[in-house]
Structure 1
Amino acid sequence: MLKLTYTEKSFYLECLTQSLEQWVQGRVILALRVGQCLCVEPSTASFLLPVNLPGVEALKAEVLKAEIKGDDKEIMALSVCDAEYLEVTLRGSWISNGSEDAEGVFVTAMSNRTEFFVHKLWQEAQKSASVVSE
C-alpha cells in the first residue's frame, strides 16, 4: 500500500508491505484505545512529478496497461500540468481526526509493482528537488 502523510507544510510518501485493511484496522484500534476521534473517508490525493524524470514515460505506459487490463482501474490517473510537471492523482482513503485542518494520512492500494514504481519515482523527484534547492 502507499501511504501519504500530510502535515501543515509538506507530505511524505511511503510504500508499506502491510495490507490496506490491516493498516486501517490497526489505526482504528489505536484510536479506540487512546480515545482519539478518527475519520475515514474516500478521497483522492495528488502530487507532482517532473516530466523529465527518468521513469515517467514508463509510469505512463504502466497506467495505460493497467487501464487496458482493468487492473488498478481508476485508482491512479496522470495529467499533464505544464511543460515541466505531471500530476499523479490517486484514489483511496483519507484518515484524519475529523477536524478541518489539512493534516492526516491518505492510503491506497494497487499492484505491488505499481506501488513500488510510484514510490521510487517520488523519491527520485525529492532528490532532484533537494539538489536544485542547494
Structure 2
Amino acid sequence: MLKLTYTEGSFYLEYLTQSLEEWVAQRVILALRVGQSLCVEPSTASFLLPVDLPGVDLLTDEVKRDDSEIIALCVCDHEYVEVSLKGYWLSDGSEDVVGVFVTTMNDSHNSNSFASRAEFCLHKLWQEAQACASVMSE
C-alpha cells in the first residue's frame, strides 16, 4: 500500500505493508474515538518524477506490461514523468488541501508480485527524487 500525506506545501510518500482495508479501518476507529470528522472518497493523486532517475524505465515497462487502471505514467516533457494513481482521499471533509491519499495496486487484476514491486519501486524512486532535489537546493 502507498500512502501520500498532503500538507499545504508538499507531500510525503510512504510504502506500507499493511493492507489498505486494515489501514482505513484503523483510521476510521481513531476518528470515532477522538470525535473527528472523516471523509473517505475515491480520488486520483499525481506527482512528478525526474525522467532520468535510474529505475523509471523499469517502472514504465512494468506498468505497460501489467495494463493496470490503478497507475498511469505520462511523459510531461524531457525532464519529468507524471505518475497518476487511483485510490482514496481521506480528510476531515473541509476544502483544505490537507489530507491523506492511499492506494494499493493489489486488486483482482494484479498479481501480488507486480503490486509489491510497483509500490516498492515507486517509493524508492520518490525517495531518490527527494534526495536529488535536496542536493540541488544546497
TM class by smaller structure: over 0.9
Residue of structure 2 in register with 1:20 after alignment: 20
1:26 deviation in Å? 0.2
Pairing of 1:1-134 with structure 2 (within 5 A): 1-67=1-67, 73-110=68-105, 111-134=115-138
1:112 deviation in Å? 1.1
Residue of structure 1 in register with 2:112 after alignment: none
Structure 1 portions without partners, runs of 5+: 68-72
Partners of 1:66 and 1:125 in 2: how far apart?
A: 24
1:50 deviation in Å? 0.4
1:113 deviation in Å? 1.2
Residue of structure 2 in register with 1:70 after alignment: none
List 4+ stretches of structure 1 deviating above 2 A: none
Aligned length: 129
| Counterpart AA for 1:20 | L
Deviation per CA, 1:23-74: give whole Å up to 9, x if none: 000000000111100000000000000001111100100101111xxxxx21
Structural RMSD (CA): 0.5
| Counterpart AA for 2:74 | S
